Amino acid sequence: MEKINALGEACPVPVIKAKKALVEHDKVEIKVDNEIATQNLKKLAEQKGYGYATQQLALKEYSVIISKNETSPEAVLEETRPQLDEAYTVVIDTDCMGRGDDKLGATLIKGFIYALTEQDRLPSRVIMYNGGVHFTVEASDSFEDLTRLANDGVEIYACGACTDYYGLTEKVKVGEITNMYRIVEMMREASRIVKP
């Protein structure tokens, strides 16, 4: 059994570590420090149809075991569901995810972009406008993740009016600058749009 120490790791890192380990191992134990992480790992196991068990070891320490050799009832349901068109477009219009605390929102959007790089099916394109264009510059915390997506064949687009407004046009280092007409076209043609 592969053992992973994800204590102190923020979402979505424990799930991604578990997912990667399950590629090579039939059984994985992941240690996490919060109940939300155990729930996220349970969702991963259910999506894959794997067995799942959790145990609280201490106040802030949980052991989660995911096993490929055990099948959950959800796996049978998953096999009978119709498959959707897998292509999707991601639209990012802000440097902060959700409403409430902007510091938390900045952490969430960074985690969202990182999680995109770890998906089984990458988006066909990522479109950024307004505050989202800040991620296309080298100083961005998510620049490496966007570069990785681009290297994996994901088309990255930034709104030219927005990069101009923020004084970033010359600093854009990943993807290409486009116009609002083309952004509308790409969004209209997309079979599915994901927006954080």
**Could you give all domains of the chain from N- to C-terminal order, each with its CATH number?**
2-79 (3.30.110.40), 89-194 (3.40.1260.10)
3-class SS shares of the chain: helix, strand, coil, % to 5: 45, 25, 30
Return the amino acid letter for 128. Answer: M
**22-58, pLDDT tens digit by residue?**
999 999 999 999 888 898 898 889 888 899 999 988 8
Mean pLDDT of the residues in the chain: 88
User: Is the CB of residue 132 less than 8 Å from the CB of residue 95?
Assistant: yes
Distance of CA 54 to the CA centre of its chain: 24
**135-193, pLDDT tens digit by residue?**
999 999 999 999 999 999 999 999 999 999 999 999 999 999 999 989 999 999 998 99
